[in-house]
Amino acid sequence: MIEIDNLTKTYGAGPQAYQALRGVTATVRANEFFTLLGPSGCGKTTLLRMIAGFETPTSGKLLLDGQDVSASPPYRRPVNTVFQSYALFPHMTCAENIGFGLKMLGKPKAEITRTVGEMLDLVQMTPMANRRPSQLSGGQQQRIALARALAPKPKVLLLDEPLSALDYKLRKDMQIELKRIQKDTGITFVFVTHDQEEALTMSDRIAIMNAGTIRQIGSPRDIYDQPAERFVADFIGETNFLTVGLLGVAGQTARVALPSGRELDLRAPGELPKGPQVTMAIRPEHLELVAADAGQLSGRLSNIVYFGTDTHFHVDLGEGGALVVRSQNKPDQMPRLTAGEAVGISVLPGTGQVLRD
């Protein structure tokens, strides 16, 4: 549906020039929920605005459904956008807001009435059809803005952090709703967020961006379990990083020496950095606390943080650094430990990998 070919965007000229996008290349499939995820200032909104036609590329090409639209204005592109601020017309009812775009396109009145009814049903807002935006909650306004954008049946719907103004519980509910609506309509969604949880919850695929470039594209599981580099591993979820000795590489497996002297096999996707030492990345839930003399690593508990569903155990490894171990809270299994206690750490088989920077 969308082909992004070596797009760059530079603002200004000379010494003051700022390159917001640096040779971005990606493909967005038809009927998928594709998320641009990254920290503030990484270029994700610039890329979204370029797809919408609000920004023109400095160089590179952008194809929508096979047609080069790099220089086309927004109104000639088969896309619609939902912004952070819902921008509903305050003097119109919900039904009138949804039908506004169709009216501007010159659609017959009967078609507008039918489509508005379908959209209200899709976002589960039929009882609110005659209310004005001021009479709606934030979540209800978000649904109407979404219905208005979907009414003209665009091939691509662009969403620029539309859930950021909602409270936590409502945001969680709307994540599920957005995914349902995307599947029901079959429209390609391109979603921008800096919230990892949103991206993991809703996306078919995620593009991780940093400093105007795409660092990795993959499914939520691939991005989380097999990050391509340290930035991705550090940005998505929680990750422990540990300096280990590299003993050898066979295919995509690296044999390393832990600070304790124990040896361990880790995944080694891609090219490894040169040198005798490399970085091991391991998720906190892939570690297990055991008796002090039983694990592959040993240390002393420096802090214990209770989170309700799980507990985070901070372990000081001495000169070997520090790790966080996450343990799910189960009444019959929850370890009874105290800060200062000596513990061992076991690495679950098949987890952990060696990363390039």
Q: Tell me the C-alpha distance between 263 and 261, whole Å.
A: 7
**In terms of CATH architecture, what is 2-230?**
3-Layer(aba) Sandwich (3.40)
Q: Output 305 or 168, whichever has higher pLDDT.
A: 305
For residue 10, the tally of other CB atoms under 10 A from its CB is 15
* pTM reported for the whole predicted model: 0.87
Q: Tell me the C-alpha distance between 96 and 119, whole Å.
A: 12
Over the stretch 35-77, which tens digit does the pLDDT of each residue have? 999 998 999 999 999 999 999 999 999 999 999 999 999 988 9
Q: Tell me the C-alpha distance between 44 and 32, whole Å.
A: 18
Q: Tell me the C-alpha distance between 238 and 285, whole Å.
A: 9
Q: What is the model's pLDDT at position 288?
A: 93
pLDDT at 194 over 70: yes
For residue 125, the tally of other CB atoms under 10 A from its CB is 21
Q: Tell me the C-alpha distance between 95 and 1, whole Å.
A: 30
Over the stretch 268-310, which tens digit does the pLDDT of each residue have? 877 777 778 889 999 999 999 999 888 899 999 999 998 888 9
Q: Tell me the C-alpha distance between 148 and 315, whole Å.
A: 52
Closest-CA residue to 115 (of 131, 95, 132): 95
Contact, 289 vs 343, CB < 8 A? yes
Which residue stretches of 151-272 are H helix?
Answer: 168-185, 196-202, 220-225, 230-235
pLDDT, the chain, mean: 90
First to last CA, the chain: 32
Structure tokens, 347:
């690495």
- According to CATH, where is 2.40.50.140 located in the chain? 238-355
Q: What is the model's pLDDT at position 335?
A: 58
CATH superfamily of 238-355: Nucleic acid-binding proteins (2.40.50.140)
Contact, 92 vs 132, CB < 8 A? yes
- According to CATH, where is 3.40.50.300 located in the chain? 2-230
Q: What is the model's pLDDT at position 357?
A: 63
Over the stretch 13-30, which tens digit does the pLDDT of each residue have? 888 889 999 999 999 999
pLDDT at 350 over 90: no
Secondary structure class of 127 (helix, strand, coil)? helix
Secondary structure class of 347 (helix, strand, coil)? strand
pLDDT at 154 over 80: yes
Over the stretch 127-147, which tens digit does the pLDDT of each residue have? 999 999 999 988 888 889 888
Q: Tell me the C-alpha distance between 265 and 217, whole Å.
A: 26
